[in-house]
Amino acid sequence: MQNILLDLNIQNELYIENNFDEISSPEKQLIGIHGLGAYGGWFHELRDKLSQNGIASILPDLPGFGRSGIRGSIDSHKTWINSLQKTWEFAHKNNKNPEQKSFLLGHSLGGVLVLSCLHKLHPKPAGLIICTPGLFPHSHSYPFFQFTLPVLKNILSNNPERLVKIPFPDEINKAIESDSLDLEYITSHVQSKMFLEVNQLIFKAWLSINRSFDIPVLFILSQSDQTCLNSASEFFYKSCNFTNKKLINYTKEDNFGHDFFVNPKSREVITNISNWIQNFQLELS
């Protein structure tokens, strides 16, 4: 594995993990964008699965999370947008294979980030994978009186830097308990003002619903998601203007929850993503 730091020129450094040293001149590569409180390591199992098929992975830690920037802090949602653009530029800077296809995956907050600035990425992705995007919070994990109201009070009382605990879904807590993640890089508390920036990003993602994208997209949702509202993601999928789109919406009986990437129950999601990328041209035919 290779790890690099990019200077974002905004008092932040962007940590990017990649496996270019293990896969020479890959024909396909995946850029994975994680969710709130997570870090690039969320996709390690997917990275290993893709690597078996000669597909490279580029996994940044978004500023404010993992090893990028100041933990739990973000100056603006534009910093996240800038970090995605910088990661995309890095992914193509030393590309020695003109036929290489780049795929972009966004999970939860990462899905919102990808949707909000997809039109700014050049060259455009060969394919897009959106997993349980944070387009609208679920009241189970974000109850108004226990979470939203206290956060608003912190912001309105001129105390926007006061830390609040991220309401992790149950499957992440189980993964933490089972040591499947590196606890050092998980962000459990963030400044209250971060949720203002998250909401601005969500607003931009919804504005993208009327844009036309000549990009194939795979949406993977879960009806048992209690972190982000599944019905909002379903509506977005049905309304968005992608030339070629496919939906996998797991049922409540599957009980995959919100976070496919650290939930052992949902390992088949990783297989589905790997197969979609590996058999990309077949999927389109």
Sequence ranges of the domains in the chain: 2-278
| d(C-alpha 236, C-alpha 243), whole Å | 14
pLDDT at 12: 66
pLDDT at 10: 46
Q: What are the residues whose beta carbons fall under 8 Å from the beta carbon of 11, sequence distance 6 or more? A: 75
May I ask the CATH class of domain 2-278? alpha beta
User: If we measure between CA atoms, which residue out of 182, 198, 89 comes closest to residue 135?
Assistant: 198
Positive or negative, the Cα torsion across 85, 87, 90, 91?
Answer: negative
pLDDT at 285: 43
User: If we measure between CA atoms, which residue out of 74, 10, 63 comes closest to residue 39?
Assistant: 63
Reported pTM: 0.95
User: Which residues of the chain fall short of a pLDDT of 70?
Assistant: 1-12, 94, 96, 281-285
Q: What is the pLDDT of residues 139-164, one digit of tens each?
A: 999 999 899 999 999 999 989 999 99
162 phi/psi in degrees, rounded to 5: -65, 135
